[in-house]
Amino acid sequence: MFKVGDRIVYPQHGAGVIDGIEKRTVLGEEVEYLTIRIIADDLVVRIPVNRVDELGLRRVMDMKGANAVLAVLAEEIPADTGSWSRRFRMNKDKIRSGDVKEIAEVIRDLSLRDSERPLSSGERQLLSQAKRILSSELRWVLDKDEDATNEHLDKLLSDLATARAEARAARSV
């Protein structure tokens, strides 16, 4: 399914490159592992090939996927989802899912909430983690370096927050 050089996304850490495929003996059984270099953290992880689906490993999205994700950022924020602890748990689950659209929802929701009132430290960490994961994948799709991708994402979020604030102000007049 995957080969050396493939660009993939490991949901817990973000985008990476498969640097190698190796066999190791574990408890007397030979197991094949993917060696993945995670770009954002300069981290190397080894994933058993037989757990790839279970762990949510997938190929980096294409431009069509990136446009769909960026469209999620522009969607209206849903009504308040209850208490802080419930929101936190829901956002954490979305990040763990590895679904890039759900990660974009977390970024959208927390960024907009942050533009209205400061986030708690826990939510600020979730926002940072979600942005790091999304940015690590977008940088390949947009063909930009890490800083340029982060700037692009921050500007987009800022522009969206400004547009929403202006729309709210216009409705209240």
Instruction: List the domains of the chain with CATH numbers.
Output: 7-59 (2.40.10.170), 63-171 (1.20.58.1290)
Among residues 173, 172, 166, which one has the least CA distance to residue 115? 166
pLDDT at 31: 93
**How many whole angstroms separate alpha carbon 173 and alpha carbon 169?**
7
H or E segment at 154? helix 146-171
pLDDT at 130: 93
Is residue 57 pLDDT above 80, yes or no? yes
Over residues 64-122, the pLDDT tens digits come to: 999 999 899 888 776 666 788 898 999 999 998 888 999 999 999 999 888 888 899 99
Q: List phi, psi (to 5°) of 7.
A: -90, 125
Over residues 124-136, the pLDDT tens digits come to: 999 999 999 999 9
62: pLDDT confidence band, cut at 50, 70 and 90? very high
- Coil, helix or strand at residue 171: helix
The structure's pTM equals: 0.84
Instruction: Report angle CA 159, 138, 59 to the nearest 5 degrees.
Output: 145
Among residues 3, 82, 10, which one has the least CA distance to residue 44? 10
pLDDT at 77: 74
Sign of CA dihedral 66, 68, 74, 77: negative
Over residues 146-173, the pLDDT tens digits come to: 889 999 888 888 888 888 778 878 887 7
Name 95's Cβ contacts closer than 8 Å, sequence gap at least 6. 11, 102, 103, 106, 126, 129, 130, 133
pLDDT mean over 24-39: 92
